[in-house]
Every structure is written in structure tokens, then in C-alpha cells.
A and B are shown apart, each in its own frame.
Chain A
Amino acid sequence: MRVAIIQFPGSNCDWDAWHAINDVIGLPAERVWHKSALPAETEAVIVPGGFSFGDYLRCGAIARFSPIMEDLKSFSEKGGPVFGICNGFQILCEAGLLPGALVRNNCIEFRCLNQCLVPEDSTENFNKVNLGEKIYLPIAHGEGNYRLDAGDLSELEANGQVLLRYAGDPADGPGHGNPNGSVNDIAGVRNATGNVFGMMPHPERVVEPFHPGLDGIGVLRAFLAPLLEETPVAMESA
């Protein structure tokens, strides 16, 4: 096992993430129950989407206090890569591992569509060269309205911590522009160090030919790049 996928009560994208990482990207992944310790061999962590603890109180508010979160915090402090998708993004914000908070979509509706996004040149691996000028990833959320006060927002922008922005044409239908009212059209961010990622869109849902697209592969590879670099070498020498 190299990639741990944390499973909370109410997680429902854990198997999708497992399939994408294990079968498509080709890194051995395992689901890890939120009350377990993070396995010592963990090299990267996915906090998957879903409705942890029924989204009661606030999305991610209860999951943030799960026993595994202490391990996750020290893992990320040591530079370990952590990626929160949708509810996972909400959990990482609640836990303070990512800046900001996610509130109810400004349209009040649950938004579910294949969303056009523009990747930002945010890290060595997460950028337009690796991902493309424009990508499509599915979104499916009711609370994806990213909020951050003005001072912290300028800092976030100045540091290049925005990963993705909503960039659809509003003329294509409801939600195709900015689907939820997020400040600066922000769909995903990273921490200042660059090892913790979070986004509302679901890259794990666009990795198979029968999916609406394959753009999720590039996103997951950009996140997992530190693990992937050595994989081909290991395979050749084996």
C-alpha cells in the first residue's frame, strides 16, 4: 500500500478514488477507516468525497475530529501529500490544513454537472503544461461556495495557491459559469507549502473511456507526481 484513502462514515467516493489510484494510475491504494492509525508505509493520502457524518452541523465539521486526523496532521506537517476531494476538501478546510471555508452554493441548488475549469500554474507539477489550458471535471455539491476574507485571499492569490478556477460559459446553462458563488471563481486550492490539495470537482470520476472524459488522470498524476517519478525506474530495475 502506498496511497491511503480515508473512509469516514458517509464517505461515498472512496471506492471511486481507490479505483482511479489503484487501477488507472497504478499505485497500490487502500481504504483506511477513520478510527485507525494512518499506516506507517503511507506515501500519500486521499480524503474522498461523500457526506461524512451526514454533513451534520457543517460539512466536514465532525470528521475533522476523527482519530485519524491527528495522524493526517502530522503526516502533512512532514510534507506528506494530502488531497481532499469535495467533502474531503471541506474536511481539510475545517481541520485548518487548507485556508478558507465552504458554504452553501449561492444558488441554493445542489450543482451536478461536467464543469469547465482552468488550471493555474500552481506547482511544479500542477500547471497548464501538465494539465492543459482547460479541463472538464464533474462537480456534485451543495456547499462548494469558497470563502476567505479579503486579506487571506490576496495572500492566497499572491502565493499562487489557487489550483483551479471555474471557467465555463454561463450561456451553456445554469451553473456552467461559476456554479456556486466561490470568491475569485476558486474551485481548488493548495496550502502554502504545496503538499496539501483540495478541490470541489471530482477527478476520480473522469478516468475511464466510458466516463464523460479523462481529465481526472492528469489531475491525480499532478498530485501524485512525487510518488510516480520513481515508479518507472523501480519497474525497469525489477
Chain B
Amino acid sequence: MGQGRSLGLPVKVTVFVSPKSTVLDPQGAAVEHAMKSLGHASARGVRVGKTITFEIDGEDGPDTRKKLDELCDGLLSNPIIEDFRYEID
């Protein structure tokens, strides 16, 4: 029990949600326009997504990852328009 995390202790999760590359991102386009008008002419490919952080009981393993995949794919992101990835600390 001295190594790693034991079940029942929370892990910290950071979820990154971004608009799919095939979906137009109007926010990204507006921000890119602002960057260019500030003189950063080479700025391109701006995409605006969101970061969601939370704690959840469990350890970094297949069970927790399965739970997180479900959470990300149903609630935290919409697979039609968004991609997600997460990090567990």
C-alpha cells in the first residue's frame, strides 16, 4: 500500500476539450483575427477549447479510465463536434 494510490483516494483529472479539426471554430477564427491585428501576422490554426478539472475516487488504471472515457464522451464533450483527452495526476 506504500506505493501508488490506493482505491478510495481521489486522483486529479484534467480534461481538455477541443473543437474537432473538421468543424469550423468561430471563436478560434475571431481570436486568430485579433492576434493578427495585434501584429502577429504568422499566427494561424487558432482553436478555442476548454479545460475541465476535477477530482474523482480511484487510481490511474483501466477502471478509472473507462469511467473517464464515458464521462468525457457523454457529458463533457460532444463527439459530433469535439475531441477530448485527459491527464490523470
Interface of A: prevailing SS = loop
Q: A100-B80, A147-B24 are in contact. List 16 more A-B contacts (CB 8 A).
A: A61-B75, A61-B78, A103-B19, A103-B26, A104-B25, A104-B26, A104-B27, A105-B26, A106-B26, A106-B29, A108-B27, A145-B26, A147-B80, A147-B81, A149-B22, A149-B80
Q: How large is the interface on B (under 10, 10 to 19, 20 to 34, 35 or more residues)?
A: 10 to 19
Shortest beta-carbon distance from A62 to chain B in Å: 8
> Which A90-111 residues sit within 8 Å CB-CB of chain B?
93-94, 100-101, 103-108
Instruction: Let me know if B76 is at the binding interface, CB within 8 A.
Output: yes
Q: Which residues of A contact B7 (CB under 8 A)?
A: none
> Which B48-88 residues sit within 8 Å CB-CB of chain A?
75-76, 78, 80-81
In the complex the two chains form, is B81's CB within 8 Å of A101's CB? yes
Interface centre among A100, A104, A108 (most CB of B within 10 A): A104
Please report the total number of A residues contacting B with Cβ < 8 Å: 20
Q: Which residues of B contact A108 (CB under 8 A)?
A: 26-27, 30
Per CB-CB distance, the 8 closest pairs between chain A and chain B, nearest first, are A101-B80, A104-B26, A101-B81, A106-B26, A108-B30, A108-B26, A101-B78, A103-B81
Instruction: Let me know if B38 is at the binding interface, CB within 8 A.
Output: no
Shortest beta-carbon distance from B14 to chain A in Å: 16
Instruction: Let me know if B23 is at the binding interface, CB within 8 A.
Output: yes
Partner pick for B23 among A65, A105, A147, CB 8 A cutoff = A147
Q: Which residues of A contact B25 (CB under 8 A)?
A: 104
